[in-house]
Amino acid sequence: MRTPSRLLATFFLLACALHCAAQQERGLWQASSNTAKNITGDIAFSETKVAIDFMTFSIASIRTLKPEEVAAVFDADVNTAGSGALYRLNIPAAQRFLHKNALCGTESTQWMATYIAGRTLRVAFFSGQAAPEFTFDAISHSTNLCGTYTYAR
C-alpha cells in the first residue's frame, strides 16, 4: 500500500519532470529543416504559449514522453534518446503560416510532441481528439501525424 508521503513524492517528481521539459524548450528556436523553413519559420516557447510565424497559441503540458516514445516519433536512438514532452493545443485548420501552408491540412492541430537533443529541437504536430499513441507501429500507420520539424539554437 502506498503511503501519502510516497504519493506526494511521486507527484512531485512527475511535476518536476514536466516542468524541466517545459523549461528546456523556452525561448526562440530557428527553423533548420526544410519543412520548418517552408511552413512554420522560427518557433518560440513560453510556459503557456507557442509562437509560430508571429502568431501565438496556448499550450498545455500533458506529460513527459519516455525515450522509447521519443524514438518512435523522431527516429531517435532509443538507447540515447532523452525524454520529450506532449502538449495539447488548438490551431484551426484554416490557420495559414509561411507560403500559405497549414500544419495539418484540412484538420485542426490538436497535439504537439517535442524532443530536445543538445541544441536541436524536434517538434511533431498531430490532429485528432485522442492523444497520439507513441509506438513505432502506431506512428508508422498514423493518419494523425501532420509532420515533424527541426529547429536549432
pLDDT of residue 78: 74
Residues in CB range of 14: below 8 A, 6 or more apart = 64
Residue 116, φ and ψ in degrees, nearest 5: -115, 130
Consecutive H or E run containing 96: none
pLDDT of residue 24: 78
Complete DSSP assignment for 16-72: HHHHHHHHHH-EEEEE-SHHIIIII-SEEE-SSEEEETTEEEEEEEEEEEPHHHHHH
pLDDT of residue 105: 95
Is the domain covering 4-152 a CATH 2.40.128 domain? yes
pLDDT of residue 23: 61
| Angstrom distance (rounded) from CA 109 to CA 9 | 34
Per-domain residue ranges of the chain: 4-152
pLDDT tens-digit profile, the chain (153 residues): 444 444 333 333 334 444 444 467 899 999 999 999 999 999 999 999 999 998 999 999 999 999 999 999 998 887 777 779 999 999 999 999 999 999 999 999 999 999 999 899 999 999 999 999 999 999 999 999 999 999 999
